Amino acid sequence: MNPTILKDLVDSTLEVFSKMVAIQLAPNPELRPEEDVQKCQITGMIGLAGKSMGIVSVHCSPRMGMTITSNMLGMDVTTLNDDVKDAVGEVTNMVAGNFKTKMSKNGKLFDLSVPTVIVGEKYTTKTMTDAPSVVIEFQWQEEKLYVKLNLKT
């Protein structure tokens, strides 16, 4: 995948987590295998449609999801509830929106779908497009968060 696209996705993720969630993520410079996202139990997804199409997804553990939610709401969240699902969906939406803005400056245009959030164990996702995909790993304390991009330009 084009290095500029990857940089835009990493920068979008870092900006959203730093400014909106008060979490300083550290990106892993090596791309990860898709199997890594299957370790997660929460997935937020946003569809991309238009001249470019695909999916941006954010994958995390319940603990990371509760931390995201606690930071966004300014209160302790200790159970995997609807607030966590909403927060992960909103973070995914912000990452995808920031990515869309950066991509549009390079002539890559698309619209965003509403977020979809999946919670559970032992599930997989499959896109209906033949778009190439990449998985980027981010670290925060002991937690890992993955951002996956399927993009056909």
Radius of gyration, CA atoms only, the chain? 14
The CATH fold of domain 3-144: Chemotaxis protein chec (3.40.1550)
**What number of other Cβ atoms are within 10 A of residue 10's Cβ?**
18
3-state helix, strand, coil in the chain (%, to 5): 40, 30, 35
Cβ atoms 58, 145 nearer than 8 A: yes
Question: Which DSSP string corresponds to 38-105?
Answer: GG-SEEEEEEEESSSEEEEEEEE-HHHHHHHHHHHHTS---S--HHHHHHHHHHHHHHHHHHHHHHHT
Residue type, 73: L
Domain residue ranges in the chain: 3-144
User: What single DSSP character describes residue 32?
Assistant: B
Q: Average pLDDT per run of 10 along the chain, which is 153 residues long?
A: 93 98 96 90 95 93 98 97 98 97 88 96 76 93 96 87
Q: Is 108 helix (H, G, I), strand (E, B) or coil?
A: coil
End-to-end CA separation in angstroms for the chain = 10
